[in-house]
Amino acid sequence: MAHVLIVEARFYSHLNDMLLDGARRAVEAAGHSHETVTVPGALEVPAAIALGAETGRFDAYVALGVIIRGETYHFEVVSNESARGLMALTLDGLAIGNGILTVEDEAQALARADRTRGDKGGGAAKAALAMLDLKEKFGIG
C-alpha cells in the first residue's frame, strides 16, 4: 500500500473542495492511504512536495490548486513557475500528479474540478499512482 501526500493550494476553497474530494476518492479507491497539507497558493505547492519528500514518508504526491487568469501578468508567472517546480521534482524521480488548474474563468474551473464532470483532482491522483507504478516497474524507489 502506498502513502500519498496531497498538497492543496487553498486559494479558491469551493473549487479546491471538489479537487480534493476527487483526489482522495481516487487514492482510496486504489487501496492507498493519504495525508493532506494546505499551502497558501500554487507557487508554494512544489516546495511543500519537496519538504514532504525529505521526510521519506510518502510514495507519491498530488498537487492541487486553481489559478484563474486575471488582468495582470501574475497568472503566467504563477502558472509557469508552479508547473516548472513540479516538473523539476518529477525529473528528480518523484511520482507527482499535477492537478493545478490554469483556467480563464471560474466556469472553466468548475467544469474541471467537479468530480462528476472533469474530476481533475481524481485524474491527478491517478497520474501520481501511475507514475509510482512506473517507478516500481523500473525498480526505482
Does 106 belong to an annotated binding site?
Answer: no
Does 136 belong to an annotated binding site?
Answer: no
Q: 3-state DSSP call for residue 6?
A: strand
Does 11 belong to an annotated binding site?
Answer: yes
Does 100 belong to an annotated binding site?
Answer: no
Residues catalogued as catalytic: 74
CB atoms within 10 A of CB 85: 19
Q: How far apart are CA 95 and CA 124, in angstroms?
A: 11
- Residue 15 burial (C-beta neighbours within 10 Å; 0-12, 13-18, 19+): buried
Does 90 belong to an annotated binding site?
Answer: no
Per-residue CA distances from 109 to 18, 101, 138 (Å): 10, 7, 35
Does 138 belong to an annotated binding site?
Answer: no
Residue 73 is which amino acid? Answer: Y
Does 72 belong to an annotated binding site?
Answer: yes
Does 20 belong to an annotated binding site?
Answer: no
Q: How far apart are CA 114 and CA 21, in angstroms?
A: 9
- Which residues are annotated as part of the binding site? 11, 42-44, 66-68, 71-72, 98, 112
Which residues carry a binding-site annotation for (2S)-2-hydroxy-3-oxobutyl phosphate?
Answer: 71-72, 112
Which residues line the annotated binding site for 5-amino-6-(D-ribitylamino)uracil?
Answer: 11, 42-44, 66-68, 98
